[in-house]
Amino acid sequence: MNVKSPVPTDLSVHGLEDLHRLKALMETAHLKINKSQIARELGVDRRTVDKYLNGFTKSRKRSSTNCLDPCRDLIRELLSGEQRQLFHYRRSLWQYLCENHHYRGSYPNFCHYLNLIPEFAGYFNKRRSTKPRA
């Protein structure tokens, strides 16, 4: 007599993503597993093991937009040589955008954005002195 069981018998858990397979085994065979032991073997917290057993999956990509993308053309225009106002420092450009164009982003985020675009980063880097200090 052969009995077919819906319980998978060839299970191997190599990471957190594999834990959802144990859920079927726990439900059909009415087994209890030691979450603390699994957590120790995987090097994570036992609550994390419980979360992944219940079907949690990590999101693959964050969906966010940069708040400075709409200002890119404005910044390019302000940093061009055609403007009468000259910005020597990033902070002065940031303050100008905050006061006159209602930009609400933080200064470190603003500096990071300027460093990501070579055209903007080069504008401020060329003004630095290359002479070593005495």
Q: Is the dihedral of CA 129, 132, 133, 134 positive or negative?
A: negative
> For 3-7, 39-43, 44-48, 83-87, which range has the lowest pLDDT when averaged over its residues?
3-7
Please work out, in degrees rounded to the nearest 5, the angle formed at the alpha carbon of residue 54 by the alpha carbons of 52 and 56: 50
State if pTM tops 0.75: no
Alpha carbon distance 55, 58 (integer Å): 10
Residue-wise pLDDT for 38-70, tens only, equals 899 999 999 999 999 888 888 777 777 778 888
Please work out, in degrees rounded to the nearest 5, the angle formed at the alpha carbon of residue 32 by the alpha carbons of 4 and 1: 15
Q: How does 26-42 read in b/e, with b if 16+ C-beta sit within 10 Å?
A: eeeeeeeeebeebbeeb
Judged by DSSP in three states, 6 sits in coil
Close Cβ partners of 15 (under 8 Å, ≥ 6 residues apart): 42
**Most confident among 15-19, 43-47, 62-66, 78-82 (mean pLDDT):** 43-47
Residue-wise pLDDT for 98-134, tens only, equals 999 888 889 999 999 999 888 888 887 765 555 665 5
